[in-house]
A and B are shown apart, each in its own frame.
Chain A
Amino acid sequence: MANKVLLVDDEAGFTQLLKMNLEKSGGYEVMIENDSTQALATALSFRPDAIVLDVVMPGMDGGDVQAQLQQSPRLSKVPVVMLTALVDSAELSEGAVAQAGTTTVLPKPVDLNLLLRVLEEVLPEG
């Protein structure tokens, strides 16, 4: 069965394009949530294997959503990929990724190949 990825980002066009790419190139089953306040509820029902989370969002930001996920016993182990324009990609040394626990930070705008590589690493073999 394909691995399930949840995309949480307020930008609908962006998530839609990312979803199509992840489905086509990674063979994942992808769900989109554009409202960050609904992220926890969606995650609880969708039960993703990984969550891709934007940092800057209206309502709840990525940090708030991540904190919620961590407190949920059913979701705290799910790897999270945070996308943020607030870090310089140079800071992450040539497209490398920053990792802390189950969370990986990627610079925005996202490089599809890099995201695919990271997802491959953090996801259990599907």
Chain B
Amino acid sequence: MQKQSLVESVLDNLPVAVFAKDATDDFKFVLWNKKQEEITSLRAVKALGNDDYDLFSEESANYFRSVDKAVLKRGKLLKVPEEIIDTKHRGEVHLRTVKLPVKDEKTGHDLVVGISEDITEQVQSLRQLEHLNKNLVKTNKELADTQMQLIQAEKLESIGRLAAGVAHEVKNPLAMILLGVDYLSRGIDPDDGNVEMILTQMREAVERADRIVRGLVDFSSQRALSREPVKLDLVIEEVLLLVRHELTRTSTNVVIDIEDDLPHVFLDLSKFEQVMINLVINAVHAMHDTPKGELLIKGRSERIKDVIKNQGARKFEVFREGDRVVILDIIDNGTGIEKGDVSRLFDPFFTTKATGHGTGLGLSVAKKIVALHGGNLTLENREDGKGARARLILPTEIDTGKVSLVPKLLKEIDT
């Protein structure tokens, strides 16, 4: 067995491949360490004394030779970030190589010394990552699509829940018209003072039925978010009309406290009504065992700074300092939220209702819709512990809500 010199021993134990070519002797290999053997699947005995054209494909050899020549010409170190060689046992191997010109003092020959690191695994990982990333982008898009479908599905669910109520509500004005017709059809006395009143009642009844039906059509129509400036008190009026049957059935007392001159909010009416119906119905259900159910709907306007100071949370990071927002609270005096449920309220498919009485999608969809509006929806127990409060924060400008809190402000909130 040949005794290795110290230098040879060190070279063979390096974790990188080291090789040298003699440029003065047709670029034949004069150094080929253990790691180089491993990477190239070529033994030193086979490589030494041969050149690139003997060992690699012509294409690869051409490339190596041109780099070698460039190194010699520049007279200094050259980095090759990635090169690929074909090997017998491992197929394509990716290398990161450094080549440097060295003068052999003894022979006066010019050498090109190469140091290569096997980066095949890194490259493969990167490729996998890129692939995964591509899939992720695709999945993300699918999720967004599904989310829109879910909104639609929940909408249909809500319609089913409300259908009975709406039918009831439409039946009543129609019955009133019928009563009017009954009266008039028994002969009209020109001096009968009731006629004018009956005609007024009938017209109002038709308008009422029309409003209810139109509300339902708006509600169920499928379209992308289309926002318009609306007055919140009118929206609430519409919503209460849609859920009136449920409120009457449960003897829920509704108190509305909306600040005068509330700025307009930019809402997709049908989607926002869906949110409101959901929150109101939830509140009504929470008051199932409350003897005197009371639903308080409060609306006011604030500058976002006040809100942050009052609420001290990162919850409102969708707004910038100074943004004027409208805050809408829907407060009930029901059973409140179970401690363990707080963190799961907005999870899709989370429900506290019995099977068949809710998809568990209502709140998650509501939150999503509010977020699409650039707003925020939170749900928590009242401070006095006598029920729960849903709070909607809505932008008063259409472009508000896309911008995150400036870092400075975030810092203030954190501390």
Contact = CB atoms under 8 A, between A and B. Distances in A.
B251 A59 contact: yes
B409 interface: no
Interface in A19-78: 20-21, 24-25, 56-59, 61
Contacts of B178: 109, 112
Contact of A21 (B171, B183, B197): B183
A57 B248 contact: yes
Contact of B171 (A17, A57, A109): A109
- List of 7 A-B pairs having minimum Cβ-Cβ separation, nearest first: A109-B175, A17-B179, A112-B182, A109-B171, A21-B183, A20-B194, A13-B201
Contacts of A13: 176, 201, 204-205
A17 B175 CA distance: 10
Contacts of A59: 251
Contacts of A102: none
B36 to A, nearest CB: 89
B178 to A, nearest CB: 7
B183 A110 contact: no
B253 A17 contact: no
A11 interface: yes
B123 to A, nearest CB: 72
B73 interface: no
Interface size class of B (residues with CB under 8 A): 20 to 34
A48 to B, nearest CB: 20
B404 to A, nearest CB: 46
Contact of A17 (B168, B186, B201, B251): B201
Residue of A11, A13, A16, A110 ringed by the most chain B CB atoms within 10 A: A13
A22 to B, nearest CB: 10
B183 A11 contact: no
B253 A58 contact: yes
Contacts of A61: 251
Main secondary structure of the interface of B (DSSP, over half): helix
Interface in B145-204: 168, 171-172, 174-176, 178-180, 182-183, 186, 194, 197-198, 201, 204
B348 to A, nearest CB: 34
B249 interface: yes
Contact of A108 (B171, B201, B204, B249): B171
Contacts of B201: 13, 16-17
A37 to B, nearest CB: 11
Contacts of B168: 85
Contacts of A109: 171-172, 174-175, 178
Contacts of A24: 183, 186, 194
22 contacts: A10-B248, A11-B172, A14-B175, A17-B198, A18-B179, A21-B179, A21-B182, A21-B183, A24-B183, A24-B186, A25-B182, A25-B183, A25-B186, A56-B248, A58-B247, A58-B253, A59-B251, A85-B168, A85-B171, A108-B171, A112-B179, A112-B182
A66 to B, nearest CB: 16
Nearest to A20: B194
Interface of B: 168, 171-172, 174-176, 178-180, 182-183, 186, 194, 197-198, 201, 204-205, 247-249, 251, 253
Contacts of B182: 21, 25, 112-113
Given A24-B186, A85-B171, A17 B248 contact: no
B162 to A, nearest CB: 15
Residue of A10, A11, A17, A25 ringed by the most chain B CB atoms within 10 A: A17
A10 B249 CA distance: 12
A20 B174 contact: no
A85 B197 CA distance: 26
Contact of B176 (A10, A17, A56, A85): A17
Residue of B168, B172, B179, B204 ringed by the most chain A CB atoms within 10 A: B179
Nearest to B171: A109
Contact of A16 (B175, B197, B248, B251): B197
Given A24-B186, A109-B171, A14 B251 contact: no
Contacts of B183: 17, 20-21, 24-25
A56 B249 contact: yes
Residue of B171, B183, B186, B204 ringed by the most chain A CB atoms within 10 A: B183
Residue of B182, B186, B198, B247 ringed by the most chain A CB atoms within 10 A: B182
B250 to A, nearest CB: 9
A2 B91 CA distance: 108
B76 to A, nearest CB: 92
Contacts of B249: 56
Nearest to A21: B183
Given A58-B247, A58-B248, 19 more contacts: A11-B172, A14-B175, A14-B179, A16-B201, A17-B198, A20-B183, A21-B179, A25-B182, A25-B183, A25-B186, A58-B251, A59-B251, A61-B251, A85-B171, A109-B171, A109-B174, A109-B175, A109-B178, A112-B178
